[in-house]
Chain A
Amino acid sequence: MTEVAVDFRGVRKEFGDVLAIDALDLEIRRGETVALLGANGAGKSTAVSLMLGILAPDAGEVRVLGEPPDRAVARGRIGVMLQDGGLMPGVSVASMLALVTSMYSTPRPVGQLLVEAGLAHLASRRVDRLSGGQTQRLRFAVAVAGNPDVLVLDEPTAAMDAESRRSFWAHIRSFAADGRTVIFATHYLREADDVADRIVVLAAGRSVADGTPVQLKTVAGARTVRFTLGDESDAGLDRLPGVTVAEVHGTTAALRTVDVERTVRALLAAREHVPDLEVGGAELEDAVIALGGSSRTAPSRRSPHEGPDVLPTRGDDR
């Protein structure tokens, strides 16, 4: 049996004029927990749809567990939690799970699924009368009902509160601990960092970075220092202590730094005027750009002086 869970080879997918996936090569091995990280529109959902056979590639090939994706789905080897997937309206929690497990050859018992999802006391409740958190737990139970080899989750926590998120990821970790493959799309850097042992960063339909969370953190930088440059020269900005990337957009300079304090001290020492100085967390988009090479004007790049101790986050507690 193949050791490769998911294999994208030169995959390309367009929607009209929009190139959603561009020459994507990606190999995910069995047992890996992989985050597909990217901003909205980066191609995460399209990649997931291709992985499940919902979409067919315009070029290239996608294989899951050595076979075409829709075959793997039909054989019940993939469990899926879609971003906009739902439950059958008007049925009870128990009959929903009984229906789904009946579709698989080696399902988990309904009783076990109910207990794991914390829904045992709600087995006879209609699925459309569950709370948001209960609905998410039932959707997860549906995804793992067939004991799948590969679990695919498309932005699974988008509708969850902080507490639901914590317990959700605890479930995922125990699922992955059985040696199963977990692939999830997210735009939360922190989720990718906490859960995945490998992060693939997607931007404009391409894989722009691929590595362990530690590797990516080192490259991504942590915080951004901005000020108005005006007519002054940007010379030397990228050599300030802590700075990994220095960029100029119009009259504004943005310095990505792993050590805000040292950078700011050096900046104030080196320049008489530093108008509109502000410090912000690096946006995910910035991190992605830092990882993948920028399309912005004249970015200067150099190796980081030291690894940051936190990953930049954005919108994690919105």
Chain B
Amino acid sequence: MTTQPSAPSAPLTRFVSVEVTRMASDARFLVLMLGMPVGMYLLFTNLPGTSQSTGGLAPQVGAMISMAAFGAIGTALTATAPRLAQERATGWMRQLRVLPMPGHRVVAAKVLAAMIWALPAIVLVFAAAELDHDIRLAAWRWCAIAVLLWLGTAPFAALGLLIGYLTDESSAFAVMYGVYLFLGAAGGLWMPVPALPTVLQRIAHTLPSNRDAELGWSVAAAHGPSLVGAAILVGWLAAFTGTAVLAYRRATATR
């Protein structure tokens, strides 16, 4: 008698690519999450008197990084929360539970797929900034900022999954959008933290949105990213991922 070998680990890449390609057919996602930050950036930096500097950076550069982070965060959330809520409603998550694909790998694939879509969100804002304001940065600095902002998007993909488990199909997008706007505003992405109300200033630096953008601001201002900031991001990532994996197991374990 033969013993069947364990299922191969190759499906992760296929799972990620299926997740990525099907997002391309979602028009709301493409327009709202990729287009909106570009529009907001052009608006903020071209209205007279509204530009404020962030961390000693030129307003066009500070806002570019803020809006790139905002776009990447929105993309990561939209690629996860409403989709997951829909997949729970259609029973796909239940079926997935009885396929040879462990829960942590499902969560990893969804986080990766969301992050792949976050990359064009960052690049589009950078392109708009470069075209509109002729921003001068060393090539490696552009790349470093983009990569750091991108890596800093991971906690939001995990947060999106968590929201997808805690809401249902009809409420997922609204809840996600509320969280998104809060993270953008309170994290100092719309206006610099010192310009926020005092209450928000106190919590701004604990938020992952602020710490994500901060990675980019630091590199643009020629001082290295803060370790505290990176640690806070990793903490949020661990917290959201852990809770999402737990939620995955719980959601499929109900009768």
Contacts and interface: CB of A to CB of B under 8 A. Distances in A.
Interface string B82-100: 0100110011101101111
Interface string B232-255: 000000000000000000001101
Binding site secondary structure of chain A = loop
A85 B94 contact: yes
B223 interface: no
B27 interface: no
B88 to A, nearest CB: 9
A46 interface: yes
A20 B97 CA distance: 21
A270 interface: no
Given A55-B253, A76-B4, A105-B4, A82 B95 contact: yes
B92 A86 contact: yes
A45 interface: yes
Contact of A55 (B10, B86, B255): B255
A99 B97 CA distance: 14
A87 B87 CA distance: 8
Given A74-B100, A103-B11, A105-B8, A85 B91 contact: yes
Contacts of A85: 91-92, 94-95, 98
Contacts of B83: 89
B92 A95 contact: no
Nearest to B13: A102
Nearest to A146: B100
A75 interface: yes
Contact of A76 (B1, B18, B97, B100): B100
A175 interface: no
Given A54-B252, A54-B253, A98-B14, A103 B90 contact: no
A80 B86 CA distance: 21
B22 A91 contact: yes
B15 interface: yes
B7 A104 contact: yes
A82 B18 CA distance: 23
Interface in A242-259: none
A291 interface: no
Contacts of B255: 15, 20, 45-46, 49, 55
Interface residues of B, number: 33
Interface in A142-163: 142, 146, 149
Interface string B1-36: 101111110110011001001100110000000000
A310 B7 CA distance: 45
Contacts of B4: 75-77, 105-106, 149
Contacts of A142: 95, 99
Q: Which residue, of A54, A100, A103, has the highest number of chain B Cβ atoms within 10 A?
A: A103
B197 interface: no
Given A85-B95, A86-B90, A88-B87, A99 B18 contact: yes
B90 A89 contact: yes
Contacts of A128: 90
A105 B11 contact: no
Contacts of A49: 255
Interface in A46-76: 46, 49, 52, 54-55, 73-76
Contact of B95 (A15, A55, A87): A87
A104 B98 CA distance: 12
A75 B9 CA distance: 11
Nearest to A84: B91
A87 B18 CA distance: 13
Q: Which residue, of B10, B95, B98, has the highest number of chain A Cβ atoms within 10 A?
A: B98
A27 B43 CA distance: 70
A90 interface: yes
Nearest to A53: B98
Nearest to A69: B98
Given A54-B97, A74-B6, A105-B6, A99 B14 contact: yes
A20 B101 CA distance: 28
24 contacts: A15-B255, A46-B255, A54-B97, A74-B6, A74-B7, A74-B100, A76-B7, A76-B100, A78-B98, A82-B95, A85-B92, A85-B94, A87-B95, A89-B83, A89-B87, A90-B26, A99-B11, A102-B14, A103-B8, A103-B101, A105-B4, A105-B5, A128-B90, A142-B99
Interface of A: 1, 15, 20, 45-46, 49, 52, 54-55, 73-78, 80, 82, 84-91, 95, 98-100, 102-106, 128, 139, 142, 146, 149
Given A88-B92, A103-B7, 8 more contacts: A74-B6, A87-B95, A88-B87, A89-B92, A90-B26, A103-B8, A103-B11, A105-B8
Interface of B: 1, 3-8, 10-11, 14-15, 18, 21-22, 25-26, 83, 86-87, 90-92, 94-95, 97-102, 252-253, 255
